[in-house]
Chains A and B, each alone.
Chain A
Amino acid sequence: MPASSRSEAATADLPVRSSLQLDLSRPILIAVTALLVVMIALPMGWLIVYSLSDKQGTATLGNFVTLFTDPSFVDPLITTLIIAVSVSAICCIVAAPLGWLVARTDMPIRRIVRTLVMASLVTPPFVGAIAWEMLAAPNSGLLNQLWRSLTGMPSDEALFDIYSLTGLIFVIACYTFPYVFILVANALDRMPGELEDASSMLGAKTWQTARRITMPLALPTLLAGALVAFLQALNLFGSPAILAIPAGFHTLTTRIWSLFQFPPKPELAAAASLPLLLLTILLLRGQALALGRRGYAVLGGKYGEPRLVRLGAWRLPAAALALLVLAMPLFLPYAALFNSAFSRVASRLVTLDTITLHNVRFTFLELSSTMPALKNTFLLATLSATLGAVLALLIAYIVARRAVPGHRVLAFLATAPLAIPGIVLGVGLFLAYTRPPLTLYGTLWILLIAFITIELPAAYQQLSSAFHAVHPELEEAGRMLGASRLRTLADITAPLLRSAVIATWCFVFVAVIRELSAAVILFTSETKVLSVLIFDLKESGDVGAIAVLSLTMVGITTVVVAVANRFGGGREAGRLHARTAG
C-alpha cells in the first residue's frame, strides 16, 4: 500500500483509532512482568522452600548436610565438575584450531565444514549418546568389532569403552564443541585483518602472528566458549543418564532425577539443584565479563577483509583433520543409527540380506505411544514457539524502545531462565504445580510453561538484536502520522522483523522437540513427548525403535532448521543461544 493512501485510510477511521490510542503499554508492561515473575519466581521459590524443609515440612538445613556429606551426593558432584572441566578444555582444543582453519585459512571445503559443524547441532545430545553406545560399547560396539577383526585383538579387550568417565566426556564434547566453534569462527570472521598484516609487514612469521596477534584477539571469545561448554556439560542430563549409569556412576543431574524414583525425595532433589543453579549464575556472570571485553580489539574505523593464511602443503591434511573431527558427532553416529534402524540386531552390520523394515513397522504401527507422543510434541512445540515468540517480541520491543520506565527489569527477567538448568526448572515446576491452586501436573500446560521458560532467553536475545537493527525513526514517522504505538508496531515494525520472528519461532520449535531434562521430570503417561519416549525405550533396550524415532526427530528438526535458515539467514543460527536440551 503506498504511503499516501495509507495516511488517508488512517484519517478515515479516526474515531476508531483514537480509542486504540489509549496507551496500553503500562497495563501490558505490568501483565508481562507479573507473568515472568510467576513463571520464574514461583518454581524457584518452591525449590528454595523445599530445600530448606524436611519431609514433614519443618525448617532444616539437613538436606544440605546430606548433600555435602553423603558420598552418594558428594561423588556425583565431584564427577560432574571433572566432566565439565574436561569437556570445556577439549572443546577449546578442538574448536579453536578448527574455527581458525575455517575462518582464516584457504583450507578446501571450509564452507562445507562450517555448515556440517552447525548441522551437527541438530542432533539432540542424548541421541548422540545412544548412537555412540552402538559404536563404542566395549564388546558389541561396531568400532570395537571392526578393530578386533582388523588387528585380531582378543574378544575381551576393547579399543573404546564408552561406558566410562572418559567415554562420557568424549560424547558430551562431541555435541558441545560446535557451540565453541561457532563463537570462535564468528569472532575470527569479524577480526580486522590489518593487525595481522601489520605484524607480518614488521617481519613476523605466520606462526608468530598467530601467536602474538590472532590468539590474544580471539582469547576472550575462547574463554566465553569455554564457559558455555562448561555450563552445557554441567547441566546435561541425557548423555550421563545413558552412559554413566551403566558404568556405575552418577552425575549431579542423574542423581537429582533418581530422587524422583520411589520413594521420592523432592526435598533432597531441591537441595541438590541449588549448587547447579548457583554455579550457573556465577559462570554466566563470568561469561558476561569475558564477552564484555571482546570489544577492545575492534576500536577504530572500517577494516578490510581478513587475509586468508595460505596452508600450502598442509591444505589436504587440514581438510582431512576437519573431516575426522566431523566424523565424531556426525558421520559415525548417523551411520550407526541408520544401521540399527534397519537391522534386527544393533550390534551387527546390516547387509542386503538382513535389511529389515521390522523396526519401522513396530515403531509406527505397533507401538501405541508413538502417535500420542508425536502429537503432544508437535502441539507443544508449535504452542511454545508461537507464545514464546510473541512474549519475546513484546519484551524485546518494550526494552529496545524503552517504552516504559522499568524496562530493564523485563530484560533481566527474560534472560534469567538462562541460569536455570532444565532439570532444576523441572524440579521447581514439579514442586510448584503439583499443589493447589494450580495443579497443572498431568496436563500439557506444565510442559508448555517449562518449554517457554527455558527458551525465552534465546528468543528474547534474538529478537532484541533484531529490534536494534530497526531504526526507531521508522516507528517515529508512524507515530507522527497519528498511529498508535500498537498500530505502528503492527504496520511498520512487525513486517521489518518478519524474518527474525520466523527464525526465532523455528528455533524454539526445534529446541522444544529435543528437550528432555525438564520433560523427564514433568511428564505423565498421557503427556509423554518424543524425547521422553526415546528415553523410556532406552531403559528397556528397544534399540531399533529408538533409532527409528531418533532419525524421525532429527529429520523433522532438520527441515525446520532449513526453513529457519531460508528466512532468518545463517547468522541467526550462530546466535542461537547455546543451551542444549540435555
Chain B
Amino acid sequence: MTRLTRRSVLAGSAAIAAGSYAVQVRAAPEPQKITPTLIEAAKKEGKLSWYTSVDLPVAEKIAKAFEAAYPGVSMKVERSGAERIFQRIGQEYQSKIYNCDVVNSSDAAHLIIWKRASMLASFLPEDVAKHFPKEHWDADGMYASWRVTLSPIAYNTSQVKAEDAPKGFNDLLDPKWAGKIVKAHPGYSGTIMTATQQLSRDLGWAYFEKLAKQKVMQVQSAADPPKKVSGGERAVMADGTEYMVNLLQSRGEPIEEVYAVEGTPLITGPSAVLARAANPNAARLFYAWSMTAEAQQLNVEIGALRSVHPLVKDRPERKKLSDIKTLREDAAAVADQADDIKARYLKLFKV
C-alpha cells in the first residue's frame, strides 16, 4: 500500500482536481435530519471514537454532553495535536486499522487531503446546510467548520503592564522580551501550523528568524502557551489558542489577549465522518449533533470556541470576530507548504 503523504496525495489527485469543477456543479447532497432511525442505529453500535485536537477537558465535557443527550452511546476521546492526529490516522490506515469514527482537526488542510484520498464520508447535517455560511462547509458534504479560533498574542497581567504589552508580532522582536516568550509547535498543533503559514506569508520568514533568537520557550500544544503565561512561567505568548486564554480569564487567571496590529491568524477547525468508521451511525449522530445550534452554543460556553452558526450567541465579554483584524486563512496553501514549514521551523528553532 502506498504511503499517504501530502505531496503524493496532491500530485496523485491533480487529475481528479482538474476534473472536479464538473463534480462541483453537482448539487449538494441531501441535508440530513437527526432521525429516530439514526438514533436507534447509533444506540445499537453503542459507542464511537472521536479524534480531536481541541483542549482535552473541553473535549471530554463535549463528549459527556453528547452522552447525556443520547444515553446508550458512549464516547471515547482521542486527543492530540492536529498534526499528530493526521500522522496517526495515516499510520493506522496504512496498517488497515480503522479506529477513528469522527475527526476534528485545527488544520483545515487535513480535511482537503483526506477528502482527496477518499477517506471521508459524505454526510450533510441539516444545521450545516441551512445555517452555516457557504465557505464553512464542503460542497460534497464531506466536512464542515465545527469550530473557529484565533491565535492571538497574550501576556501575564501581573508581570506586564497593559501599556508595556506588545501590540503586534513585530513588537515581540524587541530585546526586552528575550527569554520571556512561549510558543507552541507547528509540528504538533494544527492551530500553530495554520498560524505559521499565515504569518510567514504576511510577515515573511524573517519574522521567525528573529523570533528564534529571542530564547523562546517551545511547547507543543497551542493550548499550552496560555497555561504557561497565566501560571507565570513566561510573560508573553507569541501564539496559542484564543479559547484557552478566555477560559483562563473566566477562572480569574492573570492573562489578557492582544489582537496584533498586523492581524491575528484565523483558524477554522472542521470535522468529518470517516468513510471507514467502525461505528458509522454513532459517528453520523455525533457529527450532526455537534453542528446543531445547541451543541455549538455549548462549544462557546464550555470551550470559549467561536462558532459560525448564526443562531449561536458569542461570549458577550469578548471582542466580536467581525471587529478583529484577522489574517486570511488558506487551507490549500497549508496543504501544499506544511512539510516545508516544518523543515524551516526545525532549522530556525532547532526542535
Contact = CB atoms under 8 A, between A and B. Distances in A.
B221 A260 contact: no
B60 A366 contact: yes
Contact of A537 (B6, B49, B56, B91): B56
A347 B232 contact: yes
A156 interface: yes
Contact of B233 (A72, A140, A264, A526): A140
A346 B346 CA distance: 30
Nearest to A542: B56
Contacts, number: 142
B231 A346 contact: yes
Contact of A541 (B64, B91, B94, B224): B224
Contact of B80 (A72, A245, A536, A545): A536
B57 A524 contact: no
Interface in B230-248: 230-235
Interface string A358-373: 0000100011110010
Contact of B351 (A250, A264, A442): A250
Q: Could you say which interface size class chain A belongs to? A: 35 or more
Nearest to A439: B95
Contacts of B61: 366
Given A368-B60, A368-B63, A539-B81, A347 B91 contact: no
Task: Classify the secondary structure of A's interface with B.
Answer: loop
Interface string B40-62: 00000000010100011100110
Interface string A64-97: 0000000010010000000000000000000000
Given A246-B218, A250-B351, A369-B77, A261 B231 contact: no
Nearest to B1: A435
B350 A263 contact: no
Contacts of B216: 248
A190 B97 CA distance: 55
Interface in A129-167: 137-140, 155-156, 163
B301 to A, nearest CB: 17
A393 B244 CA distance: 53
Given A156-B180, A262-B90, A367-B56, A526 B219 contact: no
B96 interface: yes
Contacts of B346: 72
Nearest to A163: B217
A258 B83 CA distance: 12
Contacts of A139: 232-235
B276 interface: no
Interface in B175-232: 179-180, 187-188, 215-221, 223-224, 227-228, 230-232
A366 B57 contact: yes
Given A263-B5, A541-B227, A525 B49 contact: yes
B57 A542 contact: yes
Interface string A333-372: 0000000000011110000000000000010001111001
A525 B87 contact: no
Contact of B87 (A264, A536, A542): A264
Nearest to A145: B232
B84 interface: yes
Nearest to B185: A245
Contacts of A155: 159
A262 B185 CA distance: 13
B218 A262 contact: no
A354 to B, nearest CB: 12
Nearest to A264: B87
Contacts of A263: 5-6, 339
B99 interface: yes
19 contacts: A137-B233, A139-B233, A155-B159, A156-B179, A245-B351, A248-B350, A249-B350, A250-B350, A258-B351, A344-B251, A362-B57, A366-B60, A368-B60, A369-B77, A525-B49, A525-B76, A525-B78, A540-B224, A541-B227
Interface of B: 5-6, 49, 51, 55-57, 60-61, 63-64, 75-81, 83-84, 86-88, 90-92, 94-97, 99-100, 159, 179-180, 187-188, 215-221, 223-224, 227-228, 230-235, 251, 253, 338-339, 342, 346-347, 349-351
